Each structure stands twice: as structure tokens, then as C-alpha cells.
Amino acid sequence: MIVICFLGLIIVSGFYIFLKSNSEDQQIYNNLLSVLKQSESYSKMSMKEILSQEVDENVLSALYMRLSDKCEYGMEFNQCNEVEKNFYLLYDFNAEVGNGGIEQFIYNSYENVTVTLAVLKESSLNYSYSYLSNALNLYPNEKVEAYENKVLSDALGKRDDQYYDLHEKEYYDYIVHYVNIHKDSFTD
């Protein structure tokens, strides 16, 4: 975690060198630096301390980072209780899809696709469940290198466009509520 923060600081410093020419660029740099400092401070906090704050995107991100360490990025769920595992799977799904679409999620989280689908269904995240379920109907029964099969990538990409319009509010409202009602279940 510290290495990630350090690398981020180096990247932000590099941006600063290139962007310090005007006040708008300075504001961007200051915002990035603030995010890095906040991430570093969260990495030193216990889950209880993180969750003592109002649940927002920063708290959700910090919680995910802490759980990523705890469960070895979804490979050791035996280290987590059911609430932590469900949060991790939902957050990971949303983050991967938001970053690179359903194809990226399936490729990067292939081992957890089936359990994620079950958690989406149990959570009544209907848009997300339908989206992943439909994508899996197109996806072969084996892991495929991301973006190598143009036909598959195009078909999944069309589903991404439809999904983005529907999921954000459903997901965000749900995940904030979920964390708020289960705050005592998150442990270090």
C-alpha cells in the first residue's frame, strides 16, 4: 500500500513538472495530491476508524483497499466474513466495469465471476445481475485473453454502453446503505 502511494506521489510530481504553467493546471495538481494524501492516511487507519466517517466514495475506496489486502485481492476469502466478501465482490465488479467494461471484469476477476453473479442477485442489483448474466451468455466457458477476440469484445462493448446508463445510481445507493447497516461487521 505504501509503495502504491509512493508511486502515485512520483506520478503526481511528474504531472506537476509538466503542468505548473497555469492556475487551472495547479488546481488539478493540488486535487491529485490531496487524493494521494488522503489515500495514504486511510492506509494507516483501522476499518473502524475509516467507517467512523460518513460513507462516501473515499470511504468506500479505502474500505476496498483494506479488504483487498485482507483477502489477497479476492483470492483468500476465507480471511473475510460474509459481509466483507460481499462488499469486496460488489465494489470490485463496479470498479472493473467502470474502468474497462464487462470484458475487463470477467478477465481480471474470472475466478470470482460466478460468486459475484450470485451476490448481485442476492442483493437485488437487478441491472447489474442482468448485465453480467447476459455477458456470461456470450462469453466462452473458459478464460479468454481480454480484447483478443474482436467479435466478443464488440458484443460485450455494446452491453457496456447500455449498462452504464442504468447501474450507477442503483449500485451507489445500495453499497452506501449496505456499508452503513453492516459497519460493525468490518474488522481488521
At 116-143, the pLDDT tens digits run 999 999 999 999 999 999 999 999 999 9
The residue-averaged pLDDT of 27-50 equals 73
Residues 145, 70, 49, CA angle at the centre, nearest 5°? Answer: 130
pLDDT of res. 38: 64
Residue 32's SS3 state is helix
Report d(CA 100, CA 182) in Å as an integer.
Answer: 29
Does 179 share its domain with 88?
yes
The residue-averaged pLDDT of 20-28 equals 65
Does 40 share its domain with 51?
no
**Out of 10-19, 34-43, 79-88, 110-119, least confident range:** 10-19
Under the banding of pLDDT at 50, 70 and 90, the label for residue 10 is low
Amino acid at 48: K
Does 108 share its domain with 157?
yes
Cell numbers given for 178: 449496505
Does 99 share its domain with 66?
yes
Cα torsion 162, 168, 170, 174: sign: positive
The residue-averaged pLDDT of 15-41 equals 62
How many domains is the chain partitioned into structurally?
Answer: 2
Report d(CA 111, CA 82) in Å as an integer.
Answer: 17
Does 123 share its domain with 40?
no
Report d(CA 105, CA 128) in Å as an integer.
Answer: 12
CB 5 within 8 A of CB 40: yes
Looking at per-residue pLDDT, the higher value among 17 and 186 belongs to 186
Does 16 share its domain with 59?
no
Does 94 share its domain with 172?
yes
Does 113 share its domain with 156?
yes
For residue range 61-88, list pLDDT tens digits in order.
Answer: 999 999 999 999 999 999 999 999 999 9
Interaxial angle between packed helices 23-43 and 57-70, expressed in degrees from 0 to 180 and rounded to the nearest 10 = 50
Residue 36: alpha-carbon gap to chain centroid: 17
Residue 154 scores a pLDDT above 50 = yes
pLDDT of res. 169: 80
Residue 29 scores a pLDDT above 90 = no
pLDDT of res. 43: 72
Does 40 share its domain with 52?
no
Closest CA to 167 of 96, 111, 110: 96
Cell numbers given for 147: 480484447
Interaxial angle between packed helices 57-70 and 82-108, expressed in degrees from 0 to 180 and rounded to the nearest 10 = 90
Under the banding of pLDDT at 50, 70 and 90, the label for residue 13 is low
Under the banding of pLDDT at 50, 70 and 90, the label for residue 3 is very low
**The domain boundary residue, chosen from 44, 62, 79:** 44
Domain range enclosing 22 = 1-44
Residue 15 scores a pLDDT above 70 = no
Under the banding of pLDDT at 50, 70 and 90, the label for residue 34 is low
Closest CA to 90 of 128, 46, 43, 136: 128
Does 179 share its domain with 104?
yes
Does 61 share its domain with 137?
yes
Does 36 share its domain with 51?
no
